[in-house]
Amino acid sequence: MTKEELTAWALSHGWTMIGGMPSLTKPRAPKEAIVRLVLKATVVHVEVKKPAGKWEKMTGAAYGDVQPDPDTGLPRGLGLDTITGFTMLMQENRDRQVFSRLTGKP
């Protein structure tokens, strides 16, 4: 996958752009990113924000090593399917986006 493909996938699956990076937010604080994709020139990293406020790299891979899963579309190679709670957090963010469009609230 390319940088543009990863960004498009993230934005269509509940991620929002915060600080120029696709990010997932806390369910109770939708303005604060807790997971982000750092898209560099040749690699992509998944970073998680620790309670102290510091970002920690969880996984990373070269763009060529990241491929979409044929069934779910989830990018393989980044370990997104193995990070505990990640799928639920992504679903909560996606649901919040859908419901905000229905109610007209930002």
Q: CB burial class (10 A; 0-12, 13-18, 19+) of residue 10? A: buried
How far is Cα of residue 49 from the mean position of the Cα atoms in its chain? 13
Check if the beta carbon of residue 20 is closer than 8 Å to that of residue 33. Answer: no
pTM above 0.85, yes or no: no
Per-residue model confidence as pLDDT tens for the chain (106 residues): 899 999 998 998 889 999 999 999 987 777 889 999 999 999 999 999 998 889 999 989 999 999 988 887 788 888 877 777 777 888 888 888 777 766 665 5
Helix H or strand E segment including 74? none
Task: Break the chain into its structural domains and give their ranges.
Answer: 3-103
Check if the beta carbon of residue 3 is closer than 8 Å to that of residue 44. Answer: yes
C-alpha 61/C-alpha 14 separation (Å) is 21
Helix H or strand E segment including 89? helix 86-103
